A and B are shown apart, each in its own frame.
Chain A
């Protein structure tokens, strides 16, 4: 059975007159229907670039894509114009990090949901309004009929993000992309939104890719977790394996640098150094300069992604 989404050896390069940035350097993963893949990484690791590439949201004249992104067998990277627009919001939709800026401030929530519904389903204005109201109800926004007439600035952050989820789900997509959807929210609202996403995902049998830099969030929502570093997946594993027995030194470092139970009085570990400059394609393990267990062979060639078992992969010659 073909997976819902299959990404193979994705490479993304941004070319400007001044410099070239190799943002993503060979990322491969699959997402099944009804599965949530969490992608964990720090700023600049290429996680958001990978996510946005699935909708080809980067400006075409400055971006070079190679590899393959197949949605239910259809290649996305070669899509353009109308075919691409028909995919966006219909089969694959996206929740943005900051709902305050991802909604157009001068249109009402209702207008923005119905325009999407009408674009993809050809429903009438009245039918689309009805659909929008049902959607707001589904994401548990109180008094949905009034909220349809509200402008984004008239809603709270949590409410806006719920509306954003409603918008993303408006045309029954099969894949939902979430780009740090809880980062801009208060801690209490974060949990509510996470639970809502997980619940809707189960209910609608969605594939979800959830990008975050917050390990707690990744563990909370994901079935599998991929860790990205310097434009590559360095480890991919089921959520329990990743939480209990991470293999890659970077994953271990990330986990060690978070606060969890029984840590009072202990010193919090940090990973020394900073991520590499992505101006060139790395010729060795990108993490080697910061790695505690670095060996000479780490610097000889970029390490391949090796299986630890049939659902756990790690890109490290020392750990594998």
Chain B
């Protein structure tokens, strides 16, 4: 198993190079010039040229790519054109904020989805099944930025129970695990968990339902297993399929939702990417996209490894 994981990790190296090339190409294919975004429109040409040379934008693209690769491999992602701070710091901080929110949303969405989906699959009354299916449908179809605004209006503006925006109490930089910061997380977490909740509830429901119709469930009853023990069998069988979908959903959350982070002024990757795009801050854009792509790859790897652990039928070849 460990060997399998290591080999898969090794396979990631060529994939990672491909990804970095793609990221670089996309960023440079996009229209717009980083320098013209930071200098005033009436700046003299020699200033523009000087800046261009300073940031290395005057070199041919392959050279730029290799320079970028070299500094990146050294653990340095360059300097932000917009803020002048190291890209690593900017992306790292935003990434942590997004991860915190994504983990919270995953916990909420996945645990609720497993309970609701399993209940709906087991339910004999059509009413229970309908209610759960409706929740799932609402989850996937209600625009989550709209829901976010409604949540802010109801719980912050009208009721005044929860803070409407921000990472935590004022003047405290960075996220920490305490009651104050958790209060700030509630609304964004709820808004962010809606889509994965809807998707996962439907997945869990249909997977469990399918498994409940299998002969081995009858066979388990026939040998006198109690309902709890049978549920354990059913869930372990449902796990590989559900984990695969969970992995994709978690990946989406880690990308950071630009809309949700904007509504709640949450300084995460979505927020950072958004501003980087508007400022044409190419180093930040490249760095953030690359980190996200890496994380997505790691997540997929983790899901694959867990799947092979749960389901013996998946070959580890």
Task: List the interface of chain A (C-beta within 8 A of B).
Answer: 55, 57, 61, 82, 85-90, 93-94, 96, 98, 101-108, 115-116, 119-120, 151, 153-154, 167-168
Distance in Å: Cβ of B151 to nearest Cβ of chain A: 40
Q: Are B222 and A89 in contact (CB under 8 A)?
A: yes
Q: Are A115 and B219 in contact (CB under 8 A)?
A: no
B311 at the A/B interface (Cβ < 8 Å)? yes
CA distance A57 to B233 in the complex (A): 18
CB < 8 Å neighbour of B313 from A88, A151, A167:
A151
Q: Are B224 and A96 in contact (CB under 8 A)?
A: no
B252 at the A/B interface (Cβ < 8 Å)? no
Task: List the interface of chain B (C-beta within 8 A of A).
Answer: 124, 214-216, 218-226, 229, 233, 236-237, 310-313
A–B Cβ pairs within 8 angstroms, 28 of them: A57-B218, A57-B222, A61-B124, A82-B226, A85-B225, A88-B222, A88-B223, A89-B224, A94-B219, A96-B215, A101-B214, A101-B216, A102-B215, A102-B219, A103-B219, A104-B216, A104-B237, A105-B237, A105-B311, A106-B236, A106-B237, A106-B313, A115-B225, A116-B224, A119-B225, A120-B224, A151-B312, A168-B223
Distance in Å: Cβ of B27 to nearest Cβ of chain A: 44
Set of chain A residues within 8 Å of B225, measured between Cβ atoms: 85, 89, 115-116, 119
Q: Are A98 and B224 in contact (CB under 8 A)?
A: no
CA distance A107 to B225 in the complex (A): 15
The chain A residue with its CB closest to the CB of B125 is A61
Which of B124, B216, B229, B237 is most buried by chain A, counting CB atoms within 10 A of its CB? B216
Q: Are A104 and B220 in contact (CB under 8 A)?
A: yes
Extra inter-chain contacts (12) besides given A57-B218, A106-B311, CB under 8 Å: A55-B221, A85-B225, A85-B226, A88-B222, A88-B223, A102-B216, A104-B216, A104-B220, A104-B233, A105-B237, A106-B312, A168-B223
The chain A residue with its CB closest to the CB of B312 is A151
Q: Are A57 and B221 in contact (CB under 8 A)?
A: yes
The chain A residue with its CB closest to the CB of B234 is A104
The chain A residue with its CB closest to the CB of B219 is A102
**Given A85-B225, A102-B216, A153 contacting B312 (CB threshold 8 A):** yes
Q: Is the interface of B mostly helix, strand, loop or mixed?
A: helix
CA distance A119 to B230 in the complex (A): 12
Q: Are A119 and B223 in contact (CB under 8 A)?
A: yes
The chain A residue with its CB closest to the CB of B214 is A101
Closest 6 CB pairs of A and B: A89-B223, A89-B224, A88-B224, A101-B215, A102-B219, A151-B312
Distance in Å: Cβ of B18 to nearest Cβ of chain A: 34
CA distance A108 to B237 in the complex (A): 13
CA distance A93 to B222 in the complex (A): 7
CA distance A102 to B233 in the complex (A): 13
**Given A101-B216, A102-B215, A151-B313, A107 contacting B233 (CB threshold 8 A):** yes
Q: Are A105 and B222 in contact (CB under 8 A)?
A: no
Q: Are B216 and A153 in contact (CB under 8 A)?
A: no
Q: Are A153 and B222 in contact (CB under 8 A)?
A: no
Q: Are A87 and B224 in contact (CB under 8 A)?
A: yes
The chain A residue with its CB closest to the CB of B313 is A153
CA distance A154 to B312 in the complex (A): 10
Set of chain B residues within 8 Å of A85, measured between Cβ atoms: 224-226
CA distance A160 to B225 in the complex (A): 20
CA distance A269 to B218 in the complex (A): 37
Set of chain B residues within 8 Å of A167, measured between Cβ atoms: 223
Set of chain B residues within 8 Å of A90, measured between Cβ atoms: 224
Distance in Å: Cβ of A64 to nearest Cβ of chain B: 16
Set of chain A residues within 8 Å of B229, measured between Cβ atoms: 115, 119
Set of chain B residues within 8 Å of A101, measured between Cβ atoms: 214-216
CA distance A154 to B216 in the complex (A): 17
CA distance A94 to B218 in the complex (A): 10
The chain B residue with its CB closest to the CB of A90 is B224
CA distance A167 to B223 in the complex (A): 9
Distance in Å: Cβ of A12 to nearest Cβ of chain B: 16
Q: Are B221 and A88 in contact (CB under 8 A)?
A: yes
CA distance A120 to B310 in the complex (A): 27
**Given A57-B218, A96-B215, A105 contacting B313 (CB threshold 8 A):** yes
Distance in Å: Cβ of A110 to nearest Cβ of chain B: 13
Distance in Å: Cβ of B229 to nearest Cβ of chain A: 7
CA distance A17 to B76 in the complex (A): 67
Set of chain A residues within 8 Å of B237, measured between Cβ atoms: 104-106
Set of chain B residues within 8 Å of A116, measured between Cβ atoms: 223-225
Set of chain B residues within 8 Å of A115, measured between Cβ atoms: 225, 229
Set of chain A residues within 8 Å of B311, measured between Cβ atoms: 105-106
Distance in Å: Cβ of B7 to nearest Cβ of chain A: 22
CB < 8 Å neighbour of B215 from A86, A98, A108, A120:
A98
Q: Are A119 and B233 in contact (CB under 8 A)?
A: no
Set of chain A residues within 8 Å of B214, measured between Cβ atoms: 101
Distance in Å: Cβ of B317 to nearest Cβ of chain A: 15
The chain B residue with its CB closest to the CB of A91 is B224
Q: Are B223 and A103 in contact (CB under 8 A)?
A: no
Distance in Å: Cβ of A136 to nearest Cβ of chain B: 16
Distance in Å: Cβ of A214 to nearest Cβ of chain B: 20
